[in-house]
Amino acid sequence: MLAVQIADHGGPDVLTPIQVERPNPEGDQVLVRNHWIGINYVDLQHRAGTPYPVALPLVPGTEASGVVEAVGPTGDPSLVGQRVVHFGHLAGVYAELTAVPAANMVLLDDGTPLDVAAAVAIAGTTAHVLVREAVTNVAAKTVAVHAAAGSTGGAVVQLAAADGAQVIALTSSKEKAKVARQLGADHAIPLAAHPDPVADVQEITGGRGVDIVYDATGRDTFELSLAMLATRGTLVMYGAITGTPPPFRLDRLSGITAPRRTAGSLSLRWASASHYLSDATARAHATHAVLTAVRKGNVTPRIVDRFPLSEAATAHRRLADRSVTGKLLLAATPNP
């Protein structure tokens, strides 16, 4: 079968299409013929081998949708022929076939397009965790969302707005700010044109600040995020694309020693979706909640481009240039 493998860490060119043996499902694993594969920033990190290493050689990828072809010796044979989405694992996803741990698979109903399922599996369930579990009851709260035009940031904007929050979108450009407004943000601040976004947030909120900041950017935005918070506000980090923030004194959360501000009693939380979607029941609940939001029109899959599996390197280059305002997919079959 066709797969895309990384033999050495590096740039997009290390993604090499090769022919490999079909995987044999073990235990309760299911063998899924992938139709659509989602591309995520974590795939770029696995390829580069930073900020943490992965074992090589590696067939990367963490989400896909398709149809079950076989099950392992202890698997459920009734799953054969079922349409599924699988995500949250590192088990050879950039491939025509993947042996998937049963706990990472979610059954789909016949009305859910496979490309939609692949597009919202990680971004959508991560947004669900951030908006509805990491911090509860966002209704009537004011939230700021970094990278608000990206696949996950955009999903956070949509879910938070649908759940009744006032949303301030933070984007890198005016074009992306326009996208964030279309997704439901009440305000959008293009950082390239606004040298003091904290002042903008203070103006929007009448000097109060925001209740929640969602930030996956990391080092480059960490200080801004803290400075935007209102008293008793929470900074929710769920990634560090630009690197890990430097160490800081815990007493800064008191507000007494923090620069530029007086708000205090702040909270800092790191929310990894995998810690919330740690079993099959939680994973299925989050997936179906997001797909329900899609059906209601509260969340859109936002698929902006599709590439053949063999062109994974091109897709990685596209995602890395930071111009993407939605989801990129790989087609794992000729006519998915």
DSSP string, 31-52: EEEEEEEE--HHHHHHHHT-SS
> What value does the CA radius of gyration of the chain take, rounded to a whole number of Å?
20
Instruction: Supply the pLDDT for residue 230.
Output: 96
Max Cα-Cα span within the chain: 62
Residue 235 backbone dihedrals phi, psi, to 5 degrees: -95, 115
pLDDT higher than 80, residue 258: no
Q: How confident is the model at residue 259 (pLDDT cuts 50, 70, 90)?
A: low
**Would you give the distance in Å from CA 142 to the centre of its chain?**
21
Highest-confidence range of 159-168, 242-251, 257-266, 326-335, by mean pLDDT?
A: 159-168
Is residue 6 within 8 A of residue 58, CB to CB? The reply is: yes
Give the mean pLDDT of 300-310: 97
Least confident of 11-15, 96-100, 246-250, 302-306: 246-250
Mean pLDDT of the chain: 94
For tokens 């949250």, the residue is 88
- Distance, in Å, from the CA atom of 302 to the CA atom of 106, rounded to the nearest integer, reads 21
Is residue 268 within 8 A of residue 235, CB to CB? The reply is: yes
131 vs 335 pLDDT, higher one: 131
**Would you give the distance in Å from CA 188 to the centre of its chain?**
20
Instruction: Supply the pLDDT for residue 260.
Output: 57
Residue 270 backbone dihedrals phi, psi, to 5 degrees: -100, 125
Instruction: Supply the pLDDT for residue 262.
Output: 67
Instruction: Supply the pLDDT for residue 202.
Output: 95
Burial of 152 (0-12, 13-18, 19+ CB in 10 A): buried
Instruction: Supply the pLDDT for residue 52.
Output: 78
Give the mean pLDDT of 64-69: 98
- Dump pLDDT digits (tens) for 312-334: 999 999 999 888 889 999 999 87
Task: State both tokens at 22.
Answer: 């079909």
pLDDT higher than 90, residue 251: no
pTM for this entry: 0.94
Instruction: Supply the pLDDT for residue 83.
Output: 98
